[in-house]
Amino acid sequence: MRLTTSETFASFIIKRLVELRERHPEVIVQVLAARRGAPSPVDDLRGHNIVGYDDALAAIPGARWLGAHGDGATVVFRGNSLRAVLEATLAGMGLTVLPCQLCDPEAGLVRLSPESLGHRTLCLVVHPDLAKVARVRAVIDFLVEVTARDRAALLGGDR
């Protein structure tokens, strides 16, 4: 069960969840102290705080999506790295769009949409002469293997 509430009530109720657990051990409660709740629909960010990107990252899919859907939202932070944006989001500063493979391992984050909001092409570039070197070929083959095997996780479908 998911309970979305204010931070104040979350701190109150979390201390008392042991009692609920004793009564109903099969119930798992996820408490989200969402300041404004989830946007509904997901592309209506009016009234929400946004963790955005600075000009250095303006061309990445997350920044473009936020730019296209951020009318009426308040940008409360701009980061010049994906990690900075992730950390600000984990701290509860606001909503953002980040790569699934970066966010999915983070228990403190909740997806607001089951679908991917942006894509990027992954390219592997190597000099033709180096592609024939055994150790380079081994790395190339490995990268191709793991990206093919874990394609769903890269695209956000395997959480």
Alpha-carbon dihedral sign for residues 105, 111, 116, 119? negative
Are residues 76 and 112 located together in one domain of the fold?
A: yes
Mean pLDDT of 70-86: 91
Report how many helices (DSSP H) and strands (DSSP E) the chain contains, helices first. Answer: 7, 4
Are residues 27 and 97 located together in one domain of the fold?
A: no
pLDDT digits (tens, 9 = 90+) for 23-41: 888 878 777 667 666 776 7
Are residues 26 and 86 located together in one domain of the fold?
A: no
Burial class (CB in 10 A: 0-12, 13-18, 19+), 10: middle
Distance from C-alpha of 143 to C-alpha of 149, rounded to nearest angstrom:
10
Radius of gyration from C-alpha coordinates of the chain: 20
pTM: 0.62
Q: Which of 151, 154, 145 is nearest to 137 (CA)?
A: 145
Mean pLDDT of 133-146: 86
Tokens of 124: 């592997």
Mean pLDDT of 32-51: 76
Number of domains in the chain: 3
Are residues 45 and 107 located together in one domain of the fold?
A: yes
Are residues 83 and 142 located together in one domain of the fold?
A: no
Instruction: Note the pLDDT of residue 106.
Output: 84
- 19: containing domain: 1-33
Are residues 113 and 128 located together in one domain of the fold?
A: no
| Chain-centre distance for alpha carbon 110 | 8
Are residues 62 and 5 located together in one domain of the fold?
A: no
Three-state DSSP at 72 gives: coil
Instruction: Note the pLDDT of residue 134.
Output: 87
Q: Which of 96, 4, 119 is nearest to 50 (CA)?
A: 96
Are residues 53 and 85 located together in one domain of the fold?
A: yes
Are residues 77 and 129 located together in one domain of the fold?
A: no
